């Protein structure tokens, strides 16, 4: 909201630096910024004093002046103005100043005399059209200072108001705050207007059929006004706060609005059928054309101001075209009403129409003093500016008076919340400075009436806030020693997530954070097959669903990186994915997952090793290392039924019978489309499940002090034989001495092997906890392993 | 064992040990073990006095030949090893080392974690809440009844009638309080959502950390003390804070907190727009209506709450000009952190 400093000073004396006022208001809750506007001249134009004026030797109309510009030597300047005289303070454009974009002042010889600058007229500085002579400045201007310092300025306080302070949406409201904060008194203009017309009740009638929506409606009529332009002072003020002057009646109405904060409406009295005002709710489907030329279809919760026949305004929101004040208006009806805040809010929401007026009414205006003051103030201003005569009296439909709310504040409560010792007398002073009337007080409590212009004051705590913000919020200092109850619980989830982050950072992955809002396609493509959750009011069609997995957002990130030709992309993200679940309190079930994507070599390009793309087996290795780290065992990977087409490999990961995630690799066709250089490996794990399954405390296992022995075996088996089956068999027959088995080679060459066969090589480690193993111990075990592999799986030794 | 047998045993042992020597350092050890002043050979020599005089000559010869043998082998091994070392000088050690992949944590989770660990030192536990919330938790329980104008302060994404993406982490306050008795001392990190046009300064999703402390006799001075400590720990020991009265329906009195600019130390710079201050969080004393909503007695307990926007503060700290960079996940951006 814009407050004109000049205008503000009509209501409160300001004798402190503006900066200080601004800081006080900001600390008290009216976030304030100083904005200056007004004419400006180029920086090189400064104040000079004419020392002497002599006639130009070669030109009658020119004179040669010596001007003190604050330099050591006076400047010699040739001037053509008739009014130049010694002793004048004048604006001087120094050499080098650009007066217009294509005119920069240079040292010049004018008819043989050197001129070092220019004494300017107002038009030359762009300040006015005046070219009758040079501009003569006030005696008090300091020589050598920029002229800008002395040009008239409009100073605006740009205030960012919070929703709870509708009372400050006006100059008087802000002035009241300034007065309270600086110990001044508020000056409200007196109203004197003559009621020379007939009794208002003989001219107009007001019927309120919806008094819940419109608790108070007042009206005055002024007849025989002269619509015309507003005087300069009014135009200036209206313009200063960013409005455009229209005519004297409309401008006066805007002026009073921004002075008092109470929205008013002026009707062309003669356009009101039967000279009646009827306040009622709209019929369902009723239509009405508002000032913005929109034909609106209304529902029952829209409050209407009607004349004897038809709607003339959406109450408190916007007027209609027909009854607007025009240049031909002769008689004016002024409306000053109090509308119920929720009613106005509902109507404005329903019509998606928010206006300055509706914002004020829905936050709460004053039904009492200010409602009438604004009415009277406007009437007297119209009489002053547009003449006419005012009907006697005011129509006031106010069946049920809204009383100010009595509130009690306990001083010990004030101290309990704020820790401040504020004396009862200080509290009284603060309340009174805010026009909160103190009814009674003792050393325990103070009883006040909350004025009806402060709808935010309802409870004791609201009064406590008033005291603190005026007394000074920053006077509350921290105790030198803090005392508090420590939490007795320690969250295990965040350390768990951090451990996962560290593991994947160690694997060489970058942590991503992706938008949870995705397109419908992305939500439907989710690898879990969850029912997607749409948004009712999305920002755009690309973001109209909640993500159902982390792979789609990560793929989206991969595409961005591919488009920017990033070399290796390895990303992981920890975040929630959403599933529609009608049984949930929020209709949504949230799963905390880990998503991993990689499209990368196993190492950056290097002289020591040739490049090798990271593929499914890299992903699988990483997965196993991670699960091992989490202490999760009994893991198996199985092909899933769920096969979205672009996958080459797609597997369910289970621990025992519990699904913990999915791992896969994309088909090469997918790669072509995005011109990726490596396969795309994906992994998504359910962290909620892993959190439950994890084993953090491993029991110590004794370490054997005896040397281990290794044996290698190479066998040939059918191509479709799963190496994991053989591995399990080897483990089983390997006795307690077999500590580890690794597949170190796989070989499939139909030229060297029988077609349909493959060769596998295993390395086995044997070790005893009790003694050094002898060759024959291990030979005996190897024998058993060979036998079972040959008999059960048809293996041949190589 | 006779001395002669011992001599042969030392010879065997030496030959075995010799096999294992691969560099000059282990060579040095080998030499000391056998030929040093207290080495095995010297020890054998020292025992020659125990030998009957008639055998001394034979034994002496055997000892000398062992010593010479070992000496020769040690010398020749040294030469071989030295040659190896010289040869290895031909390798260009300025070639780059093996490229170990770099991984990195997102700057936002780093900042969140740093803040959480500071709050942990200040006795706060961590609590969580859902990202999809009910109207009651997100608004009504926080003293924001239906048709309250302050609801306009937060543009909301709706999932269903009365179900929305949480617009702040404050619903974790009322969720936690409905399940726990005071005292309560928690921080709640998480994603929040606003239905606002995306620009360099605003995104539809961002991160907050909510703080809540409820106990007997909690005052605004406690709030100030905690936030001062937090700011010193996070921004540095010379950080100062100041309060500005503000309005949040769920706290009263409410305030915005500014911290002295970490870059210019309050003198004014580009980051703080020449004010010397940075806006970092909103806070206040928990409104009695919030206590009533969760079944706490506002006459019995009082408390404070605060909400800190992480993304803004990370952008200021790292000088990131566009909030969208945080969510693009360009690896060239991420690998810097
Ligand atoms: Zn700064």
The pLDDT tens digits for A161-183 are: 998 999 999 999 999 999 999 99
Contacts of B302 in chain A (CB under 8 A): 416-417
Per DSSP, what are the bridge partners of residue A278? A207, A306
Per-residue pLDDT at A271 exceeds 70: yes
In A, minimum Cα distance to B104 occurs at A510
Partner B, chain A 43-82, Cβ-Cβ below 8 Å: none
Work out the average pLDDT over B73-84: 85
What pLDDT score was predicted for residue B89? 67
Please classify residue B94 by burial: count the beta carbons closer than 10 Å to its beta carbon, then call 0-12 exposed, 13-18 middle and 19+ buried.
Answer: exposed
A20 and A61 together in one domain: no
Work out the average pLDDT over B206-210: 97
Distance from first CA to last CA of chain A, Å, rounded?
89
A393 and A245 together in one domain: yes
Q: Is A513 on the interface with B (CB under 8 A)?
A: yes
CA of A179 vs chain B CAs: smallest distance (Å): 17
Query: Residue B275 C-alpha to ligand 1 middle, in angstroms?
Result: 7
The pLDDT tens digits for A148-164 are: 888 888 899 999 999 89
Q: Is A472 on the interface with B (CB under 8 A)?
A: no
Contact A487 B125 (CB under 8 A): yes
Phi, psi angle pair for B55, to nearest 5°: -90, -10
DSSP codes of every residue in A640-671: -S---TTEEEEEEEEETTEEEEEEEEE-HHHH
The pLDDT tens digits for A190-218 are: 998 889 999 999 999 999 999 999 999 99
Work out the average pLDDT over A572-586: 97
Partner B, chain A 408-437, Cβ-Cβ below 8 Å: 416-419
Query: Residue B121 C-alpha to ligand 1 middle, in angstroms?
Result: 28
A231 and A366 together in one domain: yes
Interface probe with B: pick from A180, A350, A511, most Cβ of B within 10 Å: A511
> Is residue A193 in some structural domain?
no
CATH of residue A325: 3.50.40.10
Query: Residue B258 C-alpha to ligand 1 middle, in angstroms?
Result: 12
> Is residue A488 in some structural domain?
no
Distance separating alpha carbons of residues A459 and A164, to the nearest angstrom:
14
Work out the average pLDDT over A520-545: 94
CA of A615 vs chain B CAs: smallest distance (Å): 16
CA of B246 vs chain A CAs: smallest distance (Å): 5
- Confidence class of residue B3 from pLDDT cuts 50, 70 and 90? confident
Decide which of A265 and B47 is more confident.
A265
Work out the average pLDDT over A391-415: 96
CATH of residue A86: 2.40.50.140
A465 and A543 together in one domain: no
A90 and A167 together in one domain: no
Work out the average pLDDT over A346-373: 94
What pLDDT score was predicted for residue B261? 92
CA–centroid distance for A55 within its chain: 66
Q: Is A478 on the interface with B (CB under 8 A)?
A: yes
Last residue of a domain, one of A335, A362, A397: A397
Per-residue pLDDT at B86 exceeds 80: no
Decide which of B183 and A41 is more confident.
B183
Distance separating alpha carbons of residues B245 and B285, to the nearest angstrom:
12
What pLDDT score was predicted for residue B110? 97
Per DSSP, what are the bridge partners of residue A589? A579
Work out the average pLDDT over A93-102: 86
Parent domain of A236: 200-397
Indicate the range of A570-574, A674-678, A690-694, B320-324 predicted with least confidence: A674-678
> Is residue A436 in some structural domain?
yes
Average pLDDT, chain B: 91
Could you tell me how many CB contacts below 8 A there are between chain A and chain B? 248
Per-residue pLDDT at B335 exceeds 80: yes
A162 and A133 together in one domain: no
Contact B101 A484 (CB under 8 A): no
CATH of residue A20: 3.30.56.10
In B, minimum Cα distance to A555 occurs at B329
Query: Residue A686 C-alpha to ligand 1 middle, in angstroms?
Result: 43
A134 and A76 together in one domain: yes
Contacts of A548 in chain B (CB under 8 A): none
> Is residue A144 in some structural domain?
yes
CA neighbor of A649 nearest in space, from A526, A522, A555, A527: A527
A554 and A504 together in one domain: yes
> Is residue A318 in some structural domain?
yes
Q: What's the total number of domains in chain A?
A: 6
Partner B, chain A 532-551, Cβ-Cβ below 8 Å: 533-539, 543, 546
Residue where the block lists tokens 């609106």: A296
Interface probe with B: pick from A365, A508, A539, A595, most Cβ of B within 10 Å: A539
What pLDDT score was predicted for residue A325? 92
Work out the average pLDDT over A393-421: 96
> Is residue A497 in some structural domain?
yes
Distance separating alpha carbons of residues A216 and A372, to the nearest angstrom:
10
Partner-chain residue, chosen from B98, B185, B302, that has the shortest CB–CB distance to A484: B185
Contact B163 A560 (CB under 8 A): no
Residues whose CB is less than 8 angstroms from the CB of residue A279 and which lie 6 or more positions away in sequence, other chains included? A206, A207, A208, A209, A210, A213, A214, A217, A303, A304, A305, A306, A315, A337
In A, minimum Cα distance to B110 occurs at A498
Residues whose CB is less than 8 angstroms from the CB of residue A746 and which lie 6 or more positions away in sequence, other chains included? A723, A758, A759, A760, A761
A228 and A104 together in one domain: no
Q: Is A23 on the interface with B (CB under 8 A)?
A: no
Partner-chain residue, chosen from B246, B287, B330, that has the shortest CB–CB distance to A566: B330
Assessment of whether the complete model's pTM goes beyond 0.95: no
Work out the average pLDDT over A277-284: 95
CATH of residue A584: 3.30.930.10
Average pLDDT, chain A: 92
Can you tell me whether residue A306 is helix, strand or coil?
Answer: strand
Beta carbons within 10 angstroms of residue A497's beta carbon: 17
> Is residue A192 in some structural domain?
no
Contact B242 A474 (CB under 8 A): yes
Q: What is the ipTM of this complex?
A: 0.85
Per-residue pLDDT at A413 exceeds 70: yes
Contacts of B98 in chain A (CB under 8 A): 603, 606, 608-609
Contact A516 B205 (CB under 8 A): yes
Partner B, chain A 571-610, Cβ-Cβ below 8 Å: 571, 574-576, 578, 585-588, 590, 603-609
The pLDDT tens digits for A631-675 are: 998 999 988 766 556 777 889 999 999 999 999 998 777 767 777
Contacts of B132 in chain A (CB under 8 A): 533, 546, 578, 586-588, 590
A386 and A426 together in one domain: no
Interface probe with A: pick from B121, B248, B305, B331, most Cβ of A within 10 Å: B331
Decide which of A349 and A752 is more confident.
A349
Contacts of A574 in chain B (CB under 8 A): 109
Work out the average pLDDT over B58-71: 86
Partner-chain residue, chosen from B157, B287, B328, that has the shortest CB–CB distance to A560: B328
A136 and A267 together in one domain: no
Work out the average pLDDT over A591-604: 94
A677 and A755 together in one domain: no
Work out the average pLDDT over B20-35: 84
> Is residue A190 in some structural domain?
no
Residue where the block lists tokens 């240079």: A106
Interface probe with B: pick from A416, A478, A517, most Cβ of B within 10 Å: A478
Work out the average pLDDT over A481-497: 93
């Amino acid at each position: 909201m814009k407050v004109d400093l000049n205008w503000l000073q009509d209501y409160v004396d300001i004798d402190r630096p503006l900066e200080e006022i601004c800081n006080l208001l900001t600390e008290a809750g009216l976030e304030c910024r100083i904005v200056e506007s007004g004419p400006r001249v180029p920086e090189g134009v400064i104040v000079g004093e004419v020392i002497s004026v002599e006639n130009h030797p070669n030109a009658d109309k020119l004179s040669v002046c010596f001007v003190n510009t604050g330099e050591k030597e006076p400047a010699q300047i040739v001037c053509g103005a008739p009014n130049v005289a010694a002793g004048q303070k004048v604006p001087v454009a120094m050499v080098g100043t650009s007066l217009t974009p294509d005119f920069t002042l240079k040292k010049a010889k004018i008819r043989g005399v050197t001129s070092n600058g220019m004494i300017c007229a107002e038009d030359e500085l762009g300040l006015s059209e005046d070219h009758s002579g040079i501009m003569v400045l006030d005696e008090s201007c300091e020589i050598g200072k920029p002229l800008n310092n002395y040009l008239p300025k409009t100073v605006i306080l740009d205030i960012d108001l919070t929703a709870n302070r509708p009372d400050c949406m006006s100059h008087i409201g802000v002035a009241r705050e300034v007065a309270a904060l600086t110990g001044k008194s508020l000056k409200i203009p007196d109203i004197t207007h003559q009621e020379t017309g007939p009794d208002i009740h003989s001219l107009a009638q007001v019927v309120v059929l919806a008094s819940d929506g419109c608790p108070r409606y007042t009206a005055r009529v002024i007849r025989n006004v002269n619509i015309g332009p507003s005087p300069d002072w009014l135009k200036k003020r209206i313009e200063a706060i960013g409005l455009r002057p229209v005519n004297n009646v409309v401008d006066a109405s805007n002026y009073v609005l921004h002075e008092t904060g109470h929205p008013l409406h002026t009707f062309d009295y003669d356009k009101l059928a039967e000279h009646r005002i009827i306040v009622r709710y709209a019929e369902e489907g009723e239509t009405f054309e508002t000032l913005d030329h929109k034909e609106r279809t209304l529902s029952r919760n829209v409050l209407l101001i009607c004349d004897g026949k038809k709607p003339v305004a959406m109450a408190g929101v916007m007027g209609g075209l027909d009854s607007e004040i025009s240049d031909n208006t002769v008689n004016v009806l002024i409306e000053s009403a109090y509308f119920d805040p929720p009613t106005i809010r509902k109507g404005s929401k329903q019509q998606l129409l928010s206006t300055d007026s509706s914002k004020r009414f829905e936050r709460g205006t004053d039904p009492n003093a200010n409602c009438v003051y604004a009415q009277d103030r406007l009437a007297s201003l119209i009489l002053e500016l547009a003449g006419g005569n005012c009907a006697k009296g005011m129509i006031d439909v106010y069946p049920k008076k809204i009383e100010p709310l009595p509130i009690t504040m306990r001083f010990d409560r004030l101290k309990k919340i704020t820790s401040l010792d504020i004396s009862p007398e200080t509290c009284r002073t603060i309340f009174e400075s805010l026009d909160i009337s103190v009814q009674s007080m003792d050393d325990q409590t103070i009883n006040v009436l909350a004025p009806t212009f402060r709808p935010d004051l309802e409870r004791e705590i609201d009064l406590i806030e008033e005291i603190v913000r005026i007394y000074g919020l920053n006077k509350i200092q921290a105790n030198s020693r803090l005392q508090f109850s420590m939490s007795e619980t320690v969250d295990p989830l965040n350390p768990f997530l951090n451990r996962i982050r560290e593991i994947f950072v160690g694997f060489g992955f970058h942590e991503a954070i992706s938008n949870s809002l995705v397109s419908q396609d992305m939500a439907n493509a989710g690898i879990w097959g969850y029912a997607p959750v749409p948004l009712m009011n999305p920002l755009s069609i690309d973001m109209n669903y909640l993500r159902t997995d982390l792979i789609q957002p990560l793929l989206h990130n991969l595409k961005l990186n591919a488009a920017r030709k990033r070399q290796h992309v390895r990303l992981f993200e920890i975040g929630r994915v959403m599933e529609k679940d009608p049984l949930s309190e929020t209709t949504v079930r949230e799963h905390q997952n880990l998503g991993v994507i990689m499209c990368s070599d196993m190492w950056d390009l290097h002289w020591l090793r040739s490049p090798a793309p990271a593929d499914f087996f890299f992903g699988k290795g990483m997965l196993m290392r991670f699960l091992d780290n989490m202490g999760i065992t009994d893991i198996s990977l199985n092909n899933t039924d769920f096969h979205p087409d672009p996958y080459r490999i797609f597997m369910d990961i289970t621990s025992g019978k519990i699904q913990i995630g999915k791992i896969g690799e994309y088909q090469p066709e997918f790669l072509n489309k995005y011109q990726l250089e490596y396969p795309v490996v994906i992994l998504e794990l359910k962290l909620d499940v892993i959190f439950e399954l994890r084993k953090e405390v491993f029991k110590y296992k004794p370490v054997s002090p005896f040397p281990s022995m290794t044996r290698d075996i190479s066998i040939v088996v059918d191509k479709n034989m799963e190496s994991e089956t053989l591995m399990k068999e080897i483990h089983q027959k390997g006795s307690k001495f077999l500590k580890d088995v690794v597949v170190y080679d796989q070989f499939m060459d139909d030229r060297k092997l029988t077609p349909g066969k493959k060769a596998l090589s295993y390395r086995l480690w044997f070790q005893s906890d009790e003694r050094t193993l002898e060759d024959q111990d291990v030979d005996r075990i190897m024998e058993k392993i060979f036998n079972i592999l040959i008999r059960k799986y048809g293996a041949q030794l190589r | 064992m006779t001395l002669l047998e011992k001599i042969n045993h030392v010879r065997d042992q030496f030959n075995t040990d010799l096999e294992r020597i691969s560099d000059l350092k282990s060579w040095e050890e080998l030499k000391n073990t056998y030929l040093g002043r207290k080495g095995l050979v010297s020890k054998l020599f020292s025992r020659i006095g125990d030998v009957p005089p008639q055998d001394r000559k034979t034994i002496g010869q055997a000892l000398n030949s062992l010593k010479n043998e070992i000496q020769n082998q040690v010398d020749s091994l040294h030469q071989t090893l030295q040659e190896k070392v010289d040869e290895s000088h031909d390798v260009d050690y300025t070639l780059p080392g093996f490229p170990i992949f770099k991984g990195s944590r997102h700057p936002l989770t780093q900042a969140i974690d740093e803040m959480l660990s500071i709050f942990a030192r200040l006795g706060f536990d961590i609590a969580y809440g859902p990202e999809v919330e009910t109207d009651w938790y997100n608004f009504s329980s926080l003293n924001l009844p239906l048709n309250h104008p302050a609801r306009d302060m937060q543009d909301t994404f709706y999932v269903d009638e009365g179900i929305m993406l949480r617009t702040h982490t404050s619903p974790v306050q009322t969720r936690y309080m409905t399940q726990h008795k005071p005292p309560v001392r928690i921080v709640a990190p998480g994603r929040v959502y606003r239905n606002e046009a995306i620009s360099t300064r605003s995104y539809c999703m961002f991160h907050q950390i909510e703080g809540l402390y409820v106990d007997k006799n909690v005052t605004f001075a406690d709030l100030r003390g905690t936030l001062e400590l937090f700011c010193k720990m996070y921004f540095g020991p010379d950080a100062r804070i100041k309060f500005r009265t503000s309005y949040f329906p769920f706290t009263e009195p409410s305030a915005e907190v500014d911290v002295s600019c970490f870059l210019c130390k309050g003198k004014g710079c580009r980051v703080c727009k020449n004010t010397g201050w940075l806006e970092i969080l909103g806070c206040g004393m928990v409104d009695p209506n919030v206590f009533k909503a969760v079944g706490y007695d506002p006459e019995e307990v009082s408390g404070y709450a605060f909400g800190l926007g992480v993304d803004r503060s990370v952008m200021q700290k790292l000088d990131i000009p566009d909030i969208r960079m945080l969510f693009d996940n360009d690896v060239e951006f991420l690998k810097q952190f």
